[in-house]
Copies of this chain bind each other. A is one copy, B any other.
């Protein structure tokens, strides 16, 4: 009981009452207190589980997932989070449904939600589409709840869209907080969010965008670097600038990986597609212009090849703070000589950071669970305490 107080007393100091009943679309729509509340609840749930205390808040209920792109870790993280709270995952497989038969988003959203407490969506492929779709679903179920057709209103959790990847970057950020020993240790720390070469094309922009949108809120010095032509969404850069100004940090842009890595405390080298090209691709798909798509893909791959030197090498790592910056990646990484001939990161660098990388990933299920928890539980401090007193083990023996 003494230990859980560590978390509840932290929560006592935060204002996060608007998270109750809310969705989670973009980190920059949440107040700083709300972001901290999510980290605190994630840590509390992890502590409870580690101490064999049941964290179920649902006796029955569904967690509906909709993945419009392949996924291993986010899929399992979502399933783990739902399971941790007592929800059964039910995947909406658009191939097996009647959605193709002219069903509207509004209708589908209601039809799957009669007993859904949460809906998690990954829709990251087309610029201007994914986030919009999620909001349409969220609006539909809210209306369904108001109309009395849904007993409960499902919480929407963004499992990656065209703009942000909040469950990833929140997990990344919590990893950083734990690594450096607390939020107060982050002031002035330099983060290099850099592009890196990959032989594949069209990777989503949600991670770099999500990183600059979130990490600028902690007083850190966030350096975004990419080759010319690999710009991210201008709106998100604006958000990053404002965040940095407010938090007493910095946000800078350059076209030099070296410059970004120089004295960095944290490096996040990762491939992505140019925003403008992704916009173009979205239009081409919209017009079913498949020749145009092929031509674009060829151009982009040719463009990528010009930047093979954007690799996270041992030499580059040596230029970071004391030569030992914390290396981050959302995984899977394109590892040179392992998963591809030439890629984002040298095999020896990746290998050196394998254990912290897995630790980074291990925060994701708890972050998702915290997002759901904060939307579903009115007085988290009370409920966390009740979890201790109800005396229910996760693992009976």
**Interface of A toward B, CB cutoff 8 Å:** 46, 49-50, 54-62, 64, 67, 70-73, 75-77, 79-80, 83-86, 88-90, 92, 96-99, 101-104, 106-108, 110-112, 114-115, 117, 144, 147-152, 200, 331-332, 334-335, 338-340, 354-355, 358-359, 361-362, 364-365, 376-379, 382-383, 386, 390, 392-397
| Contact between chains at B365 and A383 (CB < 8 Å) | no
Query: Which of B58, B96, B382 is close to A71, meaning CB atoms less than 8 Å apart?
Result: B96
| Contact between chains at B75 and A96 (CB < 8 Å) | yes
Contacts of A46 in B (CB 8 A): 151
Q: How far is the CA of A117 from the CA of B67 in the complex (A)?
A: 24
Contacts of A331 in B (CB 8 A): 103, 107, 111
Q: How far is the CA of A340 from the CA of B100 in the complex (A)?
A: 12
| Contact between chains at B90 and A70 (CB < 8 Å) | no
| Contact between chains at A394 and B60 (CB < 8 Å) | yes
| Contact between chains at B86 and A89 (CB < 8 Å) | no
| Contact between chains at A383 and B396 (CB < 8 Å) | yes
A22 to chain B, nearest CB (A): 16
A197 to chain B, nearest CB (A): 14
Q: How far is the CA of A102 from the CA of B342 in the complex (A)?
A: 12
- 4 pairs of A and B residues whose beta carbons are closest in the complex: A102-B339, A72-B97, A80-B115, A149-B358
| Contact between chains at A394 and B59 (CB < 8 Å) | yes
Contacts of A392 in B (CB 8 A): 59
When A76-B111, A103-B72 are in contact, do A396 and B332 touch as well, CB less than 8 Å?
A: no
When A60-B394, A149-B362 are in contact, do A80 and B111 touch as well, CB less than 8 Å?
A: no
Contacts of A61 in B (CB 8 A): 83, 394-395
Q: How far is the CA of A117 from the CA of B61 in the complex (A)?
A: 19
When A89-B90, A98-B72 are in contact, do A115 and B396 touch as well, CB less than 8 Å?
A: no
| Contact between chains at B57 and A332 (CB < 8 Å) | no
| Contact between chains at B396 and A58 (CB < 8 Å) | yes
| Contact between chains at A103 and B332 (CB < 8 Å) | yes
Contacts of A200 in B (CB 8 A): 101
When A102-B332, A355-B147 are in contact, do A114 and B365 touch as well, CB less than 8 Å?
A: yes
When A115-B365, A377-B397 are in contact, do A90 and B79 touch as well, CB less than 8 Å?
A: yes
Contacts of A64 in B (CB 8 A): 76
Contacts of A79 in B (CB 8 A): 62, 88, 90
Q: How far is the CA of A86 from the CA of B90 in the complex (A)?
A: 14
When A72-B99, A110-B358, A362-B150 are in contact, do A339 and B144 touch as well, CB less than 8 Å?
A: no
Contacts of A97 in B (CB 8 A): 70-72, 75
A236 to chain B, nearest CB (A): 24
| Contact between chains at B334 and A56 (CB < 8 Å) | no
| Contact between chains at A147 and B359 (CB < 8 Å) | yes
A351 to chain B, nearest CB (A): 11
The chain B residue with its CB closest to the CB of A366 is B114
| Contact between chains at B101 and A332 (CB < 8 Å) | yes
| Contact between chains at B72 and A84 (CB < 8 Å) | no
| Contact between chains at A338 and B104 (CB < 8 Å) | yes
| Contact between chains at B362 and A376 (CB < 8 Å) | no
15 A-B contacts (beta carbon < 8 Å): A49-B115, A57-B396, A58-B395, A59-B394, A59-B395, A60-B83, A60-B394, A61-B83, A61-B395, A72-B98, A72-B112, A80-B115, A89-B90, A104-B339, A107-B331
The chain B residue with its CB closest to the CB of A73 is B111
The chain B residue with its CB closest to the CB of A57 is B396
Contacts of A58 in B (CB 8 A): 394-396
